[in-house]
Amino acid sequence: MSPITRSMVLWVPDWPILASLRIEPLRGEPLASGATDVPLALIEKGLVFACSAAARIEGVQRGLRIREAQARCTDLVVRPYEQQLDSRTFETVITAIEELMPGVQLVRPGIAAVRSRGPARYYGGEQPAGLALVALLEGLGIPGARVGIADGPFTAEQAARTATSAHRVRVVPEGASADFLGNLSISLLEDPALITLLRRLGISTLGDFAALPAADVLGRFGPDGAHLHALAGGLDSRPIVAHQPPDELDLVVAFEPPLDRVDQVTFGVRASADDFVQQLVAKKLVCTTLRVEIETELGDYSERSWLHPRSFTASDVVDRVRWQLQGSGEVDSGLRSSGFKSGVSAVRIVPEAVDAIGNHEVGLFGAGPDERIHNGLARVQSMLGHEGVLTPVVSGGRTLADRQKTVPWGDRPLLPRSNRLPWPGQLPLPLPATIFAAPHPVFVYGADGTETQIDERGRFSSAPARFSPATGKDSRQITAWAGPWPISERWWDAEAALDASRFQVVDDRGVAWLLVLTRRATGSSWAAEARYD
């Protein structure tokens, strides 16, 4: 068995509450006041996950339903619990501790562990080391932190939890863990099933549990039970694993003075983009999704994720930066025409998704003609912008416009609807070869010269005999027609609702058209959507 590590554990009471207040302070209440005088509860899945001291005084507890918590404390402020926010804000605390003493382990947000041997020697004792940690957190604006120092992280954590606000550092002397833990409740072991069983066996303190023979506990409760038994006896053999800072793969290019031309910025990024890709390659990774963040002098901020069908090369990275700068503006112009009000002060490139390089290896004889085509089309994209070159995909849907989608070259298609589903109500084959980008309004007349209308049951006022564009010129006789084919979609959504009737008509010159009568709240109108030519 490995020797027990003398550990120092930092505990910040009500960390979720503090984290929530640090990100978003309550209205009218300064951050520095500790925020303990406002009843606040964080809710997860309809139950109270954490609550502030003020709420606890009013009787709010962890595990209550929202309704009941609000009944007990009528001015309770309720917020949803966000675990990422917890972890993210605690990251700053971890970084600060690391500057003071190395080798910090993040146990969970709110609790961090350090080996106490080094700091104790540096500060001349365990008590001063603990006080240094508390003072550090006070400096960060986090009041009420407690520190426990004992053999093993479990005992040290319990020591921290039993520290009082007057004596914020509690030291359990070496070898005294079993005595310290002996009187504590069995419920501190985080295994509800085992706790229930032990209580029914008449064991209510950690000391009682630790008194059981270790071999019997192993035989009855298995390795997990044996581990908890060791914890209860103060024999926590877990080592403290130092927190590994994540690899820094971001690329940040700062411009001083700020640049206000697209080509200058892209030229500045070009050299660093090579390093960015090389750095990934050195870690045997390639980037498949990229986020480009652009900051300007006046604090404007532009952020966008870019997908790549394969993986980003250095020139691809530079292209993405250029396209984001150009936006919808003219090519090779200054930044002002593309929505930026001041010069660019920094560009940050973050790899959002990376993949092992082995999955993206180019074949022995190269990737064939695709590479050449990709380069050629990227050149056209640099002339027209990223949205200028498109690849077509067939999506799911009933109307012609729904079914055909385009994706900018170089992006992966993300289809909201599957084209594998049957989609009843589609047009019969053959499909029209010309689909107007914007439907042309037309008038359709019956044989008697009045405009053709259809009621909600699909009955005609008069059969269509003639139609003309909305300008009135170029009127055409209808020689054959079919329809109406009604389509009624998404009536529950006023924005996306569609109630229309479709017709195929053939005019006297042999051209066939798809005419659509759309009914809206303001009235119905005819339009030519497509041409069979």
Q: Is residue 9 within 8 Å of residue 160, measured between CB atoms?
A: yes
CA distance 180 to 185: 12
Shortest distance in whole angstroms from residue 377 CB to other proteins: 6
Amino acid at 391: T
The verdict on whether omega for the bond into residue 257 sits within 30 degrees of 0, i.e. cis, is yes
**How many C-beta atoms lie closer than 10 Å to residue 328's C-beta?**
9
- Sole window of 262-270, 271-279, 447-455, 476-484 interacting with other proteins (rule: CB under 8 A): 476-484
Q: Is residue 115 within 8 Å of residue 79, measured between CB atoms?
A: no
DSSP secondary-structure letter at 311?
-
Residue identified by tokens 């394969």 is 310
Q: Is 404 in the site for other proteins (CB under 8 A)?
A: yes
Judged by beta carbon, residue 180 or residue 409, the one nearer other proteins is 409
Q: Is residue 393 within 8 Å of residue 405, measured between CB atoms?
A: yes
Q: Is 108 in the site for other proteins (CB under 8 A)?
A: no
Q: What is the dihedral of CA 259, 261, 264, 270, to 10 degrees?
A: 100
Helix 314-326 × helix 262-282 angle, to 10°? 150
Judged by beta carbon, residue 170 or residue 403, the one nearer other proteins is 403
State which of residues 435, 487, 498, 527 lies at the interface with other proteins (CB under 8 A): 435
State which of residues 3, 139, 430, 523 lies at the interface with other proteins (CB under 8 A): 430
Judged by beta carbon, residue 231 or residue 530, the one nearer other proteins is 530
Q: Is 472 in the site for other proteins (CB under 8 A)?
A: no
Q: Is 506 in the site for other proteins (CB under 8 A)?
A: yes
- Sole window of 36-44, 223-231, 321-329, 525-533 interacting with other proteins (rule: CB under 8 A): 525-533
Amino acid at 334: G
Q: What tokens appear for 405 in the block?
A: 């989608």
Give the sign of the dihedral formed by CA 214, CA 216, CA 219, CA 220: negative
Within residues 342-401, the interface with other proteins by CB under 8 A covers 369, 372-373, 375-377, 379-380, 383-384, 388-394, 400
Within residues 292-331, the interface with other proteins by CB under 8 A covers none
Judged by beta carbon, residue 434 or residue 475, the one nearer other proteins is 434
Q: Is 463 in the site for other proteins (CB under 8 A)?
A: yes
Q: Is 433 in the site for other proteins (CB under 8 A)?
A: yes
Helix 314-326 × helix 370-384 angle, to 10°? 20
Q: Is 428 in the site for other proteins (CB under 8 A)?
A: yes
Q: Is residue 489 within 8 Å of residue 401, measured between CB atoms?
A: no
- Sole window of 42-50, 51-59, 135-143, 425-433 interacting with other proteins (rule: CB under 8 A): 425-433
Shortest distance in whole angstroms from residue 306 CB to other proteins: 19
Burial of 436 per CB tally in 10 Å (0-12, 13-18, 19+): middle
Shortest distance in whole angstroms from residue 524 CB to other proteins: 19
Q: Order the strands of the 111-115 sheet from edge to edge.
A: 104-108, 111-115, 6-11, 146-151, 169-171
Judged by beta carbon, residue 279 or residue 404, the one nearer other proteins is 404
Amino acid at 530: A
Judged by beta carbon, residue 255 or residue 481, the one nearer other proteins is 481
Q: Is residue 261 within 8 Å of residue 322, measured between CB atoms?
A: no
Q: Is 431 in the site for other proteins (CB under 8 A)?
A: yes
Within residues 194-223, the interface with other proteins by CB under 8 A covers none
Q: Can you give the C-alpha Rg of the chain in angstroms?
A: 34
Within residues 231-260, the interface with other proteins by CB under 8 A covers none
Shortest distance in whole angstroms from residue 496 CB to other proteins: 21
Judged by beta carbon, residue 228 or residue 400, the one nearer other proteins is 400
Q: What is the dihedral of CA 330, 331, 336, 340, to 10 degrees?
A: 100
Q: What tokens appear for 44 in the block?
A: 């997860």
State which of residues 265, 512, 516, 528 lies at the interface with other proteins (CB under 8 A): 512
Amino acid at 317: V
- How far CA 6 is from CA of 101, 153, 237, in Å, comes to 15, 8, 10
- Sole window of 12-20, 44-52, 315-323, 506-514 interacting with other proteins (rule: CB under 8 A): 506-514
Angle at 150 between CA 148 and CA 151, to 5 degrees: 150
Residue 6 backbone phi and psi in degrees, to 5:
-70, 120
- Sole window of 172-180, 195-203, 433-441, 492-500 interacting with other proteins (rule: CB under 8 A): 433-441
Judged by beta carbon, residue 470 or residue 511, the one nearer other proteins is 511
Q: Is 462 in the site for other proteins (CB under 8 A)?
A: no
State which of residues 199, 352, 511, 520 lies at the interface with other proteins (CB under 8 A): 511
Size of the site for other proteins (CB under 8 A): 47
DSSP secondary-structure letter at 461?
S
Q: Is 445 in the site for other proteins (CB under 8 A)?
A: no
Q: What tokens appear for 423 in the block?
A: 């989609």
Judged by beta carbon, residue 253 or residue 442, the one nearer other proteins is 442
State which of residues 49, 436, 443, 445 lies at the interface with other proteins (CB under 8 A): 436
Name the residues that contact other proteins, by CB under 8 A.
Answer: 369, 372-373, 375-377, 379-380, 383-384, 388-394, 400, 403-404, 406, 409, 428-437, 463, 480-483, 504, 506, 509-512, 530-533
